[in-house]
Amino acid sequence: MTGELTLTGQVLPVGGIREKVIAARRARMAEVILPFGNKGDYEALPAYLSEGIKVHFVRHFRDVFDIVFDASADGRQLH
């Protein structure tokens, strides 16, 4: 995940989504968590960058928690 949280747990948009996705691809990550506010930035990426990566868009820290710990229960590994 990349992002900033408010004191109430809201996930705020960040910059550099293209660079973050490229870094995830280089690290061979299968899933990433991004702020919902950056969905448009992600959708604007060329298909070859987003291909093969499952993206979770989150609005609140609780969403992140549920994704990460549900993944652990399934035996999947998030990076």
Q: Quick one: CA dihedral 59, 40, 25, 20, positive or negative? A: negative
Reduced to 3 states (helix: H, G, I; strand: E, B; else coil), residue 34 is strand
User: Chain centroid to CA 67: how far?
Assistant: 10
Query: Percentage of the chain surpassing pLDDT 70?
Result: 85
- Which amino acid type is present at position 61? F
Question: What is the C-alpha R_g of the chain?
Answer: 12
Domains of the chain: 4-74 (3.30.230.10)
* pLDDT band for position 4 (cuts 50, 70, 90): confident
Query: What's the mean pLDDT when you consider all of the chain?
Result: 89
